[in-house]
Amino acid sequence: MKRQFYRLGRASIFLALLLTFSQCKKSAVTENAPAAAKISKTFVNDATPGPGGGVLMQAFYWNTPNTSSWWQNVNSKIAAWDAAGISAIWLPPATKGQSGGSSMGYDPYDYFDFGTYNQMGSTTTRFGNLADLNTLISNAHTHNIQVYADMVLNHCSGGTLEANPYTGTNTYTKFTPLSGQFNRSYSDFHPNNIHASDEGSFGGFPDLCHAQANVSNWIYNASYSMSRYYKNTMHYDGWRFDYVKGFGAWVVQNYVNSVGGFAVGEDWDGNAANLQSWVNATGGTSSAFDFACFYAMHSAFDSNDLTHLNDDMLWKRNGAKSVTFVSNHDTDIIGNKYSAYAYIMTHEGYPCVFYSDYEQWLDKGRMNNLIWIHRTLAGGTTTNLYSASDQYIDRRNGYGAAPGVIVYFNGTGYWQQQWVTSNWANRQIKEYTGASGWVQTVAADGRVLIQAPPNSYSIWSVTGY
């Protein structure tokens, strides 16, 4: 029971927030939604997703159904996601947790049991079995979609009692998983003979000590390590590191250095400077989820003050290491989601789409339009053109084949228009979401008049796409 406390608490928060914001989502998103422009083009992914190019899908939500194989469900969507422009998927922790077939994976017991061994009350995990996972990963690779593993390295769960000389009590720190790999005992957790604690523990779970050779060998150091098994046998392409506040950034650095691949850490901190410091501490091997951007969008779009888009964000400091997002399995506080997705799809950073937003709550055609704009038009650095509490306009300056965009957010209940300076002289531009039918000719000095619909956004670029 104590092993379920950690994530059930966060899930309860999620459900409460979802109910709290349901009404504002209806008024701010659905009723004022412009029709999405019809985009017939599909994508051929390049298998190297990254900021400014690819789009990440978080391919699960909290308490996904465990009555059938979630891996099969995700696998059935791969072709459509590929056509929409999704270039990578982030899967939930895939190995056996203490809660067995009901575990969301954040209570790890056997890091090498992907639904093969009858332990913790089940053979399969909540998400399915090893064969289904292998099929999913193989199909994703056939579509040149990368697959990121969710790595829970701070704590373990489900151990049996043993006498612990470092606490003078009995502790749940004896782990003998049926896979026969990564056995653990009291010396592999805090406190031990090296130190009493590290950066942080969570929820009373046994807290792994990464300074112990047995732990570091099994996670990334040895030829039999998790990192090598997940990369070379399971064929994961990248890593999402859970709760990185609980252990040193050097652990992430060593893990990524051992096998490569894309990496992003959950450093839950709304301070952009702190996020950048954590990225720096990994030696630049990892990106971070841009919680500073997340909270700024909430303040801007849900509190009717668009000047919060001037707030400091990780993408403004280091777009190449920022993974931007609107919601995830742990938190869902943004009500005006379409504007938030328009923001992350038109700005620097690597945008992440939440499964429930895409598959359940929002209009898929409108989301696909924003993904298309991100992948096709939105390149280069960012310049602010107009900032007020009720209107905000940014320009992406273009890079390579991407011509750039001008994105106009309108926080009022009526149409607005502004003269702005573009990077396009003597060119025709149009609006790419279907919000406006204007086709404007840019003056020789780059000046052009654009408009935006009530409580929504418009996105402009040169014609021909």
pLDDT above 50 for 92: yes
* pLDDT surpassing 90 at residue 53: no
Q: What is the mean pLDDT of residues 401-412?
A: 96
Do 424 and 368 fall within a single domain?
no
pLDDT digits over 270-298, tens only?
A: 999 999 999 999 999 999 999 999 999 99
Consecutive H or E run containing 226: helix 226-228
Is 19's pLDDT higher than 50?
Answer: no
**What pLDDT does residue 402 have?**
92
Q: In the structure, what pLDDT confidence band is assigned to residue 67 with cuts at 50, 70 and 90?
A: confident
- Is 171 contained in some domain? yes
* Same domain as 334, residue 250: yes
pLDDT, average across residues 297-315: 97
Residues in Cβ contact with 424 at an 8 Å cutoff, skipping those fewer than 6 apart: 403, 442, 446, 448, 462
Evaluate whether residue 231 is within a structural domain. yes
The C-alpha angle with vertex 82 and arms to 77 and 88, in degrees rounded to 5, equals 90
Same domain, 354 and 458: no
Non-local CB neighbours of 239 within 8 Å, separated by 6+ positions:
148, 149, 151, 255, 256, 261, 262, 263, 264
Residues 298 and 405 in one domain: no
- Answer whether residue 37 shows pLDDT above 80: no
Asked whether residue 365 is assigned to any structural domain, the reply reads: yes
Task: Please report the pLDDT score of residue 344 as a whole number.
Answer: 98
Report pLDDT for 32. Answer: 47
Q: What is the CATH number of the domain that holds 262?
A: 3.20.20.80
In tens, the pLDDT along 161-204 reads 999 999 999 999 999 999 999 999 999 999 999 999 999 999 99
Q: What are phi and psi of 103, to 5 degrees?
A: -75, 135
- Of the candidates 322, 352, 376, which is a domain's last residue? 376
pLDDT > 50? residue 27: no
Q: 376, 404, 439: which is the final residue of a domain?
A: 376
Looking at per-residue confidence, does 208 or 11 come out higher?
A: 208
246 and 345 belong to one structural domain: yes
Domain coverage including residue 421: 387-462
In a domain, 382, yes or no: no
Check whether residue 231 and residue 339 sit in a common domain: yes
Report DSSP state, residue 230: I
Domain membership of residue 29 (yes or no) is yes
How much is the average pLDDT of 307-312? 98
Give the predicted TM-score (pTM) of the model: 0.91
| pLDDT for 289 | 98
Q: Is residue 381 part of a domain?
A: no
Do 308 and 455 fall within a single domain?
no
Rounded to whole angstroms, the Cα distance separating 192 from 194 reads 6
pLDDT recorded at residue 39 = 47
Contact between 414 and 454 under an 8 Å Cβ cutoff? The reply is: yes
Instruction: Assess whether pLDDT exceeds 60 at residue 33.
Output: no
Of 376, 411, 428, the residue that ends a domain is 376
Counted domains in the chain: 2
Q: Is the pLDDT of residue 2 over 80?
A: no
Over 80: is that where the pLDDT of 31 sits?
no
What pLDDT is stored for residue 382 in this prediction?
97
Summarize the confidence of residues 34-52 as an average pLDDT: 47
CATH of the domain at 456: 2.60.40.1180
Is residue 216 domain-shared with residue 286, that is, in the same domain?
yes
Q: How confident is the model at residue 45, as a pLDDT?
A: 52
Using the predicted structure, report yes or no on whether residue 268 has a pLDDT greater than 70.
yes
Share of the chain above pLDDT 70, in %: 89
Dihedral sign (CA 40, 46, 47, 51) = negative
Regarding whether 17 and 137 lie in a shared domain, the answer is yes
Asked if residue 47 has pLDDT above 50, the reply is no
Residue 15 pLDDT > 90, yes or no? no
For residues 43 and 146, the model is more confident at 146
pLDDT above 80: residue 28: no
355 and 272 part of one domain: yes
Q: Does residue 243 contact residue 202 with C-beta atoms inside 8 Å?
A: yes
> Is residue 94 domain-resident?
yes
pLDDT in tens, 358-370: 999 999 999 999 9
Round the average pLDDT of the chain to a whole number and report it: 91
Predicted pLDDT at 68? 84
Residues 421-458: tens digit of each pLDDT: 999 999 999 999 999 999 999 999 999 999 999 999 99
CA 302, chain centre distance (Å): 21
Residues 187 and 250 in one domain: yes
Q: Is residue 339 part of a domain?
A: yes
Co-location of 335 and 406 in the same domain: no
| pLDDT (tens digit per residue) in 231-261 | 999 999 999 999 999 999 999 999 999 999 9
Radius of gyration of the chain, Cα coordinates, nearest whole angstrom:
23
Instruction: Dig out the tokens for 231 from the structure.
Output: 């990369």
pLDDT at 41: 55
Range with lowest mean pLDDT among 24-28, 81-85, 287-291, 431-435: 24-28
Per-residue pLDDT for 4 more than 80? Answer: no
